[in-house]
Structure 1
Amino acid sequence: MADAGAWTRGLMLYRSQKVLGLDIEPMQDHWLLLGEVQGSQREPYEVSIEMALMPDGQVDYWDSECECPVGSQCKHGVALMLKAAYQGLQLLGGNAPYPMLSPPSPEQVETQRLANLARAQESARLEAEAQLLRWLQELDRASGAATKAAHGDPAIHGAREDIRPEQFLYLLTVVGAHSPTPRLQMEAVVSYPKVTGGWAKPKAIKSAPYKGQAVYDQASDADHQVLQLMRAMPDSSRFSYNFNSSALPSGQAGLIALQQAASTGRLLLDDGKGGAGLPLQWGPPQRLSWHWQEVPNPQALEPSWTLRGQLADSHAKLCLNSPPLYLDAALGLCGPVQAEGIPTAQLDVLLKAPPLKPSALQKHQVALMQRLGKLPLPPVLQQLTTLQGITPSACLHLALTPPENAPSAGLIQAQLRFDYAGHRGWWAGQGSTVLIESAAGRVLLQRDAEAELDAITRLYDLGLMSAEKGLFGIPGDGPQQDWLHWADNGFSVLRDAGFEVTLDAALNHWITHADTLEVQLQPEGEEEATSPWFDLSLGMEINGQRHNILPWLPDLIAAAAASPLDPETGLPNIPPFVYLPSPNSQGFIRLPTDTLKPWMAALLELVNDRDHDFTGASLKLSRLDALRTGAALGEGAVWDGAQTLRDMVQQLSGQSELPQVPVPASVQASLRPYQQQGVNWLQFLRQHRLGGILADDMGLGKTLQTLVHIQIEKDAGRLSHPALIIAPVSLMGNWQRETERFCPQLRCLVLHGKERHAVADTMDQFDVVIAPYSLLQRDRERWLEAQWHLVVLDEAQNIKNASTNAAQVAGLLQTRHRLCLSGTPMENHLGEIWSLFHFLMPGFLGSQARFKELFRNPIEKQGDPERLHQLRARITPFMLRRTKAVVANELPPKVETVMRVELSGQQADLYETIRLGMEKTVREALTSKGLAKSQITILDALLKLRQVCCDPKLLKMEAAQKVKTSAKLEQLMEMLPEMLAEGRRILLFSQFTSMLTLIEAELKKCKIPWVKLTGQSQKRDALIEQFTSGQVPLFLISLKAGGVGLNLPQADTVIHYDPWWNPAVEAQATDRAHRIGQTQSVFVYKMVAQGTIEERILALQERKAALSESMYSGATARKQPLFSEGDLAELLKPLSI
Structure 2
Amino acid sequence: MASRFIEQLRRSQTHAASSLRSTQQLRYQLDAGAEALHLSLHVATVAPNGSIEATVPYRLQPAHLRHPPPFLSPDDRRLLNALSVHAPGWVQSSAGPLPDSLDLDWLRQLLDTRRVQDGEGNPMCWGTPVAAGCGWRVDPDDGCQRLVWELPEPLRPLPTRPPGYWDPTTGQCGEIRSEYPPAAVAWLANAPALPPDAVAAFLRDQGTRLASWGLPQPRPLPRRRLRPAPGGMLRLFSLPEGTPGTRDRMRLGFRYTDEGQEAVFEAGDAQSDCTVVAPDAGERLVFQRDPVREDGLRLQLHAALSSCAPRVQDVRDIAFAEPRGWVEAMTRVLPALRAEGWRIEIEPGFRQYWVRPDSVAVDTRWLDRDWFELALRIELDGKPVALLPLLARLHDRYPVSELRNMPADREIALSMDDGRQVLMPVGRVLHWIQIFGELLDGETIQGHLRLPASQATRLAELDDGATVFGADNTGLLEQARTLRRGVTTEDFRTPPGLHAQLRGYQRLGIAWLQQRQRLELGGILADDMGLGKTLQVLAHLMLERAEGRLHRPALVVAPTSVLGNWIAEARRFCPELRVLLLHGAARQPLWAAVDRHELLVTSYAVLANDLDQWRGQELSAVFLDEAQAIRNPRTRIHRAVRELRASARFCLTGTPLQNHLGDLWALLDFVLPGCLDSEAAFRRRYRRPIEDDGDTLRAQALFDRIAPFLLRRTKAEVATDLPAKTEVTLRLPLEGAQRELYELLRQRSLAELRATPGDHGPEPLNVLNALLQLRQLCCDPRLLDAERYRDTGSAKREHLRAMVRELVEEGRVLLVFSQFRRMLDWISEDLTESGIEHQMLTGRTQNRQAVIDAFRQGAGQVFLISLKAGGTGLNLTRADTVIHYDPWWNDAAERQATDRAYRIGQTQPVFVYRLLAEDTVEERVHALQIHKRRQLEGVYAAAESEGERLRLTHSELLDLLEQGG
State if a TM-score over 0.5 links the two structures.
Answer: yes
Aligned CA distance change for structure 1 residues 518 and 969 (closer, same or farther; 3 Å): farther
Paired position in structure 1 for 2:544: 713
The question of 1:550 aligning with 2:386 is answered: yes
**Alpha-carbon spacing, 1:699–1:551, altered in 2? closer, same or farther (3 Å):** closer
Distance 2:385 2:935 in 1: 34
Please tell me whether the aligned partners of residues 764 and 954 of structure 2 are also in contact (alpha carbons under 8 angstroms): no
SS at 2:720's partner residue?
Answer: helix
Unaligned runs of 5+ in 2: 1-240, 243-353, 366-371, 397-412
Per the alignment, residue 746 of structure 1 pairs with 577
Q: C-alpha displacement at 1:998, in angstroms?
A: 1.5
SS at match of 1:942: helix
User: In the TM superposition, what are the counterparts of 1:1015-1030 in structure 2 within 5 Å?
Assistant: 1015-1030=843-858
CA–CA separation in structure 1 for the residues paired with 2:771 and 2:891 = 17
With 916-925 and 981-990 compared, the bigger mean Cα shift is at 916-925
- With over 3 angstroms needed to count, the CA separation of the structure-2 counterparts of 1:785 and 1:921, relative to structure 1, is farther
TM superposition shift of 1:1108: 2.1
Letter of the 1:550 counterpart: A
The answer as to 2:775 corresponding to 1:935 is: no
String of CA shifts for 1:728-775, please: whole Å, max 9, x gaps.
111111111111111111111101111101212221111111111001
Amino acid at match of 1:1024: I
Judged with a 3 Å threshold, the aligned counterparts in structure 2 of structure 1 residues 666 and 549 are, in CA distance, closer, same or farther, namely same
Aligned counterparts of 1:623 and 1:750: Cα–Cα separation in 2 = 34
Q: 1:866 to 1:738 in 2, by over 3 A?
A: same
Contact 1:1052 / 1:1082 at 8 angstroms: preserved in 2?
yes
Q: CA deviation at 1:938?
A: 2.0
Q: Which residue of 2 aligns with 1:987?
A: 815
Alpha-carbon distance in structure 2 between the residues aligned to 1:1042 and 1:518 = 62
Amino acid aligned to 1:874 = R
Q: Tell me the TM-score normalized by structure 2.
A: 0.55
Q: Would you say 1:770 and 2:601 are equivalent positions?
A: yes
Give the Å deviation of 1:597: 5.0
One-letter identity of the residue aligned with 2:497: S
- Residues 1:1079 and 2:915 are matched in the alignment: no
Deviations 1:225-256 (A, max 9, x none): xxxxxxxxxxxxxxxxxxxxxxxxxxxxxxxx
Partner residue in 1 for 2:681: 850
Partner residue, 2:775? 946
Deviation (angstroms), 1:1072: 0.7
Preserved contact between residue 496 and residue 543 of structure 2 (Cα < 8 Å): no
Q: Distance in 1 between matches of 2:923 and 2:834?
A: 30
Residues 562-602 of structure 1 show CA distances to partners (whole Å, capped at 9, x for unaligned) of: xxxxxxxxxxxxxxx988999999xxx99998864555457
Alignment match, 1:703: 534
- Partner residue, 1:968: 796
Partner amino acid for 1:800? R
How many angstroms does 1:657 deviate by? 3.6
Amino acid paired to 1:918: S
Structure 1 pair 831/516, CA: closer, same or farther in 2 (3 Å)?
Answer: farther
What is the correspondence of 1:479-558 to structure 2 with a 5 Å cutoff?
Answer: 520=360, 536-537=376-377, 550=386, 553=389
Letter in 2 for 1:1064: A
Deviations 1:67-102 (A, max 9, x none): xxxxxxxxxxxxxxxxxxxxxxxxxxxxxxxxxxxx
User: Which residue of structure 2 lines up, in the alignment, with residue 730 of structure 1?
Assistant: 561
**Aligned partner (choices 894, 919, 923) of residue 1066 of structure 1:** 894
The answer as to whether partners of 1:990 and 1:1037 remain within 8 angstroms in 2 is yes
Count matched residues: 588
The aligned residue for residue 176 of structure 1 is none
Asked whether the equivalents of residues 1093 and 1131 of structure 1 are also in contact (C-alpha less than 8 Å), the reply is yes
The 1:636–1:841 alpha-carbon spacing in structure 2 relative to 1, beyond 3 Å, is farther
Structure-to-structure mapping, 1:362-373, within 5 angstroms: none
Q: CA deviation at 1:670?
A: 2.1
| Match status 1:1002 vs 2:833 | no
Tell me, in whole angstroms, the C-alpha distance in 1 between the residues paired with 2:768 and 2:926.
17
Work out whether residues 376 and 386 of structure 2, in 8 Å CA contact, stay in contact via their aligned partners in 1: no
Give the aligned partner of residue 149 of structure 1: none
| Distance in 2, Cα, partners of 1:672 & 1:591 | 41
Deviation at 1:717, TM superposition (A): 1.8
The residue type paired with residue 917 of structure 1 is: R
What's the CA shift for 1:1120? 3.9
- CA shift, 1:936, in A, is 2.2
Q: Which residue of 2 aligns with 1:1097?
A: 925
Report if aligned partners of 1:793, 1:820 keep a CA contact under 8 Å in 2. yes
Measured at CA, do residues 635 and 1071 of structure 1 come closer, stay the same or move farther in structure 2, by a change above 3 Å?
Answer: farther
Provide the rounded CA distance (Å) in 1 between the counterparts of 2:676 and 2:879: 41
State the Cα distance separating 1:673 from its structure 2 match.
1.0
Q: Which moved more, 1:916-925 or 1:744-753?
A: 916-925
Deviation at 1:516, TM superposition (A): 13
CA distance in 2, matches of 1:961, 1:621: 64
State the distance in 2 between where 1:518 and 1:950 align.
Answer: 70
Amino acid at match of 1:1092: T
Tell me, yes or no, if the aligned pair for 2:627 and 2:667 is still in contact at 8 Å. yes
CA distance in structure 2 between the partners assigned to 1:888 and 1:901 by the alignment: 34
Residue identity opposite 1:791 in structure 2: V
Contact 2:486 2:512 in 1 (8 A): no
Q: 2:646 is aligned with what amino acid?
A: T
Partner of 2:509: 678
Q: Distance in 1 between matches of 2:513 and 2:546?
A: 15
The 8 Å contact of residues 658 and 681 in structure 1, kept in 2 or not, is answered as no
For residues 631 and 998 of structure 1, what CA distance do their matches in structure 2 show? 58
Q: Deviations over 1:1012-1048 (max 9, x none)?
A: 1111112222222332222311111111111112111
Three-state SS of the structure 2 residue aligned to 1:771 is strand
Counterpart CA distance in 2 for 1:924 and 1:630 is 58
Q: In 1, are the aligned partners of 2:921 and 2:960 still within 8 Å (CA)?
A: yes
CA spacing shift, 1:580–1:658, aligned 2, 3 Å: farther
Change (3 A) 1:516 1:842: farther
Deviation at 1:629, TM superposition (A): 1.8
1:807 to 638, 652, 658: 638
Amino acid across the alignment from 1:1002: D
1:1033 corresponds to which of 861, 885, 894:
861
Paired with 2:961 and 2:356, the residues of 1 have a C-alpha distance of 47
The aligned counterpart of 1:652 is 483
Assess, with a 3 A threshold, how the Cα gap between structure 1 residues 578 and 1000 changes in structure 2: closer, same or farther: farther
Output the CA distance in 1 between the equivalents of 2:504 and 2:927: 36
Residue deviations 1:534-554 (CA, integer Å, cap 9, x gap) = 7633699xxxxxx99836717
Distance 2:962 2:849 in 1: 43
Given that residues 598 and 633 in structure 1 are in contact (C-alpha distance below 8 angstroms), is that contact kept between their aligned partners in structure 2? no
C-alpha spacing 1:846/1:1119, structure 2 compared with 1 (3 Å): closer
Counterpart residue identity of residue 377, structure 2: S
Which of the residues 774, 782, 787 maps onto 2:618?
787
Root-mean-square deviation (CA, aligned residues, Å) is: 4.2
Q: Match for residue 911 of structure 1?
A: 742
Matched, 1:759 2:582: no
Q: Tell me the amino acid that sits aligned with residue 1059 of structure 1.
A: P
Residue 690 of structure 2, aligned match among 859, 868, 878: 859
Alignment of 1:100-249 (within 5 A): none
When residues 804 and 649 of structure 1 are mapped into structure 2, their CA distance, relative to the original with a 3 A threshold, is same
Q: 1:755 to 1:867 in 2, by over 3 A?
A: same
2:388 and 2:446 in contact (8 A); partners too: no
C-alpha distance in 2 between matches for 1:697 and 1:787: 31
Partners of 1:1056 and 1:1115 lie apart in 2 by 30
Distance 2:764 2:684 in 1: 23
Hey, what's the Cα distance between the residues in 1 that align with 2:454 and 2:654? 30
Matched position secondary structure for 1:1091? coil
Letter aligned with residue 764 of structure 2: Q
- Please, which of 1111, 1114, 1117 is the counterpart of residue 939 of structure 2? 1111
Tell me the SS of whatever aligns to 1:928: coil
